[in-house]
Amino acid sequence: MSKPVSSPLASSNAVHARVVVRPVRDCPVTRLAGEFGIRELVAPGAPGRAPQVVVESAPEERLVELGAHPIVRAGDGTVCRLPSLVESEDGAVSACGHGHCLGHGFGFLPIDAYHTHWEGDALRCSFAALDTREVERVIESFGAADYVVELEQLIRAGDDAPEGVSAASETTILDIDELTDRQREVARAAVERGYFDPDGPSAADVADDLGIAKATLSEHLRAVQRELVQQAFDIPD
């Protein structure tokens, strides 16, 4: 008799997670997402090629100003190439200054998303993880790559909830007193200004309102997200 093969689906630790990701670096993806909304972003199939993006129909001259090269209209959308996002030999992308551009996929993450969907300037990614630690590593990786990311949905194995409805096997209470006064101040200001809303202001606008650099804003928000995610997943420092 053959030996039974264990299945990760039998593990009560398995989780489904959906995160919302927003680019904040000043690059064509951020500018196009913020002004017109992205329908789809397609990574190139070979080195030296440009990513492609589908955006809501817009004046071609404006698309060029934002760093896109319009190719063809498709229904009420426009298919563009992003020539400034071609990777260099060392893997860097000059238009946004790092090698973790969303236009080149998600190779920097510890696990792959099984579904991605753009809604305006926000990218929703769904992950099937073996445990909450994998989800936490995904969020850390997005944060380290300078993206604003929030956990939208976490469903543990055995839970039953329809797609789009948040569910969890237990209630988690988060202690914001673990944040520094400055972290709470910046996080509250970002929420009050609608930064996490789909049509909210950009990171640069919020930073200007607070009188700080955009990089400083991102650093504070990453620290806040890291602390709250660790609490939610009960992960020690």
The H-assigned helical ranges of the chain are 28-35, 60-65, 132-144, 181-192, 203-210, 214-232
Fold of 173-237: Arc Repressor Mutant, subunit A (1.10.10)
Nearest to 164 by CA among 13, 12, 14, 20: 20
Please tell me the predicted confidence (pLDDT) of residue 53: 92
Whether the CB-CB separation of 188 and 224 falls below 8 Å is answered with no
Looking at the chain, how many residues does it have? 237
Kindly state the tokens that stand for 106: 């998600």
Give residue limits of the domains in the chain: 14-170, 173-237
Dihedral sign from CA coordinates of 32, 215, 22, 193: negative
Amino acid at 157: A
Nearest to 132 by CA among 221, 223, 229, 224: 229
> What tens-digit pLDDT sequence spans the chain (237 residues)?
444 444 444 455 788 889 999 887 788 888 898 888 898 999 888 878 899 999 987 889 999 999 899 999 888 889 999 998 887 666 566 666 656 788 888 888 999 999 998 888 889 999 999 888 898 899 989 888 888 888 888 887 555 443 443 433 343 445 566 778 888 888 888 878 888 776 678 888 888 888 888 888 888 888 877 777 666 655 555
d(CA 53, CA 43): 9
Sole residue written with tokens 């202690």 = 175
Please tell me the predicted confidence (pLDDT) of residue 160: 47
Nearest to 24 by CA among 230, 190, 233, 211: 190
Please tell me the predicted confidence (pLDDT) of residue 158: 54
Global pTM exceeds 0.95: no
Please tell me the predicted confidence (pLDDT) of residue 86: 84
